[in-house]
Amino acid sequence: MATPLERWVEEQAGLAEPESIYWCDGTEEEARKIVEAGLTKEKINGHSVFHELNRSSFPGSYLHRSHPTDVARTEHLTYVCHPDKVTAGPNNNWMPPLEAKEKLSRLSKGCMRGRTMYVLPYMMGHPDSPYAKACVQLTDISYVAVSMRIMTRLGKGVVRKIGGSENFVRGFHSVGDLDPEKRFIMHFPDENFVWSIGSGYGGNALLGKKCFSLRIASWLGLKEGWLAEHMIIIGIEDPEGRITYVVAALPSACGKTNLAMLQPSIPGYKIWTVGDDIAWMNVGPDGRLWAINPETGLFGVAPGTSLKTNPNMVRTLKAGTFYPTLYTNTALDADRNEPWWEGRDGPVPENVLDWQGRRWDHLQQDSKAAHPNSRFTAAISQCPVVSREFNNPKGVPISAIIFGGRRTELIPLVYESFGWQHGVFSAARMGSETTAAAIHSIGALRRDPMAMIPFCGYNMGDYFGHWLDIGKKMKDPPGIFFINWFRRDEDGKFIWPGFGENIRILKWIINRTNRKAGARETPIGLVPRPGDIDTRGLDVPAEKLEELLEVNPGEWDRETEDAGKFFEKFGDRMPAELWEEFNKK
């Protein structure tokens, strides 16, 4: 008798009508075959899905050029279909589940004709972890099949694990005809189901990532008492060899991958990478917060990645095991057959093709060769500083939670909240300037609580309440901190050097958690005095550092007023405790 999984795959195939169905087993040999299909048979926009890059300098690496309209997450086409609109909240697009399914069934009828339907069984989290979830995604494009193999623990063991159970997360994905008018990413949280059509872009198409690990998982977390967050997880080793684990949430394309594998400028410190995008966090039996990274790969923004900004990422990309490594919408150095992007090491090559494969003239002002949201996809096991705890099914214990954003003005370089409730309030009012990771105007300030505005799978008023409840479950909750690397001076230049120097801020944070660093009290929280930060060897004038740590209560009034308007949107779902904090101002 067919299992629920087999029946579901058959049903979906009945709708999509693929030419063939291929169950992936996760082996290397299979990955080579799928890459081969992408090099030869499968096409996107008339071109092959993959182009093989220079075998000796970029072993196992392939360039993928997406459809030009399909280069970032499409938040306006992303829906969370709870039975009622209020549960989805003002932070999500909503459609009644039945109507959504009718619409998607019409668009999906025969969408895989002439194509292979890949069946991808995968785990989010280590299979031995009590927090891991078994999932199956269907897709009709090699790019997604290969990406999922990098980003998740994919293999036939997952089919055995699911067995005759109904308990697995389902994802249906098809690129359809890539028509933006027929593009939708719809979530059905009560059914553990994601349905995505019309896009091949990472956040829209790798359904284990944002769709499941954040939108659906955040809803499961509400029901089951845990948190699914848009956070990196790192271990910070100090000169005595102690490792303190912290999580940090930053909006998309604000330097999360750089922070996750930072090479510290202060001798004796070391960063160990557990995760660069997603953290699932549970309160353990010891009353502490524990975090796992459910993914196994890195899907980072390429432009700006260099030996100066992120040497460990450059090393990861060159590691050359056969996972493989993918480049999406970067430019191509046509002479060397190497990927290229703005900010890569070395001089601009002479003969560059832009992200759409057109000859690029670097003298043409404002024209970028690589798409600003071009990406690499690489296995975390290739990262030279991957934490030895990465595969620990229990995860790592968290001592501090960091929130950050991209703010030209106002927000100090770092500060600590007064306690859990105040920290949740401060994270709820967070704002950040928008980036190219999603399709919208760039550089506009938007409220992005906990860097989760595009990813929270239910009403954010309830989400804030859930954060408050999690705090109550802990004996000694981690401190909540805020960072902003992005303050600019009158000439528009970044004041803080960032990158490896950010260790100075992390050092202050971990010393605060050990009560070894000082701070001064301000209306927004505890801010270091310049002398509280290790500035030995730092090339930032004292007055600039003071400027970065300044809190001007007058300037905060506008910010608070704007945050209040945002809070009002959540009506009676907004927890009273946050209004209480708001009214303290």
User: How do 184-188 and 243-249 pair as beta strands?
Assistant: unpaired
User: Where in 406-465 is the site for ligand OXD (CB under 6 A)?
Assistant: 437
**Rounded Cα gap, residues 471 and 465, in angstroms:** 10
Contact 145, 182 (CB under 8 A): no
Residue with tokens 């082996």: 27
Query: Would you call the peptide bond into 251 cis, given omega within 30 degrees of 0 as the criterion?
Result: no
Residue with tokens 């990274």: 293
Give SS3 for 180. Answer: helix
**Rounded Cα gap, residues 402 and 506, in angstroms:** 10
The interaxial angle of helices 97-108 and 4-16, nearest 10 deg, is 60
Q: Shortest gap between Cβ of 445 and Mn ion (angstroms)?
A: 19
Q: Shortest gap between Cβ of 247 and Mn ion (angstroms)?
A: 13
- 406 vs 512, beta carbon nearer ligand OXD: 406
Question: Residue from 203, 324, 405, 461 that binds ligand OXD (CB under 6 A)?
Answer: 203
> Could you write out the three-class secondary structure of 46-86?
CEECCEECCCCCCCCEEEECCCCCCCCECHHHEEECCCCHH
Q: Which partner in Mn ion, ligand OXD, none is near 405 (CB below 5 to 8 A by kind)?
A: none
- 277 vs 416, beta carbon nearer Mn ion: 277
- 66 vs 252, beta carbon nearer Mn ion: 252
> Which residue(s) pair with 400 in the sheet?
246, 479
Q: How far is CA 176 from the centre of its chain?
A: 25
- 246 vs 250, beta carbon nearer ligand OXD: 250
**Rounded Cα gap, residues 157 and 139, in angstroms:** 19
User: Where in 248-277 is the site for ligand OXD (CB under 6 A)?
Assistant: 252, 277
Q: Which partner in ligand OXD, Mn ion, none is near 299 (CB below 5 to 8 A by kind)?
A: ligand OXD
Q: Shortest gap between Cβ of 377 and Mn ion (angstroms)?
A: 13
- Catalytic residue (one of 111, 135, 211, 254): 254
The yes or no reply on residue 202 touching ligand OXD (CB under 6 A) is yes
Q: How far is CA 375 from the centre of its chain?
A: 12
Q: Shortest gap between Cβ of 203 and Mn ion (angstroms)?
A: 7
Q: Which residues bind Mn ion (CB under 5 A)?
A: 252, 277
Q: Shortest gap between Cβ of 570 and ligand OXD (angstroms)?
A: 23
**Rounded Cα gap, residues 135 and 168, in angstroms:** 5
Q: Which partner in ligand OXD, Mn ion, none is near 202 (CB below 5 to 8 A by kind)?
A: ligand OXD
Residue 526 Cα distances to 41, 398, 560, 578, angstroms: 59, 20, 18, 19
**Rounded Cα gap, residues 157 and 249, in angstroms:** 32
Interface characters, 480-499, with ligand OXD (x: CB under 6 A)? --------------------
Residue 439's identity, in one-letter code, is I
232 phi and psi, to 5 degrees?
-85, 160
Q: Shortest gap between Cβ of 252 and Mn ion (angstroms)?
A: 5
Phi/psi class of residue 484: alpha, beta or left (left: φ > 0; alpha: ψ in -120 to 50)? beta
Annotation says 211 is catalytic: no
- 299 vs 403, beta carbon nearer ligand OXD: 299
Contact 237, 269 (CB under 8 A): yes
Residue nearest ligand OXD, Cβ-based? 252
The yes or no reply on residue 371 touching ligand OXD (CB under 6 A) is no
Q: Shortest gap between Cβ of 103 and Mn ion (angstroms)?
A: 27
- 37 vs 460, beta carbon nearer ligand OXD: 460
The yes or no reply on residue 382 touching ligand OXD (CB under 6 A) is no
Residue 207 Cα distances to 123, 344, 412, 537, angstroms: 12, 30, 36, 45
- 80 vs 369, beta carbon nearer Mn ion: 80
The yes or no reply on residue 299 touching ligand OXD (CB under 6 A) is yes
> Could you write out the three-class secondary structure of 471-518?
HHHCCCCCEEEEECCCCECCCCCECCCCHHHHHHHHHHHHHHHCCCCC
- 277 vs 338, beta carbon nearer ligand OXD: 277
Closest residue by Cα to residue 47 from 372, 379, 332, 378: 332
Q: Which partner in ligand OXD, Mn ion, none is near 208 (CB below 5 to 8 A by kind)?
A: none
Question: Residue from 51, 65, 73, 422 that binds ligand OXD (CB under 6 A)?
Answer: 73
Give the E-state strand segments of 302-362 in sequence order. 325-328, 331-333, 338-340, 352-353
Residue 534 Cα distances to 102, 184, 508, angstroms: 59, 49, 8
- 405 vs 525, beta carbon nearer ligand OXD: 405
- 77 vs 545, beta carbon nearer Mn ion: 77
User: For the chain, how big is the Rg over CA atoms in Å?
Assistant: 23
240 phi and psi, to 5 degrees?
-85, -5
Q: Shortest gap between Cβ of 542 and Mn ion (angstroms)?
A: 36
Taking each continuous run of H as one helix and of E as one strand, the counts in the chain are 16, 31
Q: How many residues bind ligand OXD (CB under 6 A)?
A: 7
Q: Which partner in ligand OXD, Mn ion, none is near 203 (CB below 5 to 8 A by kind)?
A: ligand OXD
Q: Shortest gap between Cβ of 355 and ligand OXD (angstroms)?
A: 17
Q: Shortest gap between Cβ of 416 and ligand OXD (angstroms)?
A: 25
Provide the binding-site residues for ligand OXD, judged by CB under 6 A: 73, 202-203, 252, 277, 299, 437
Give catalytic residues, as residue numbers: 254
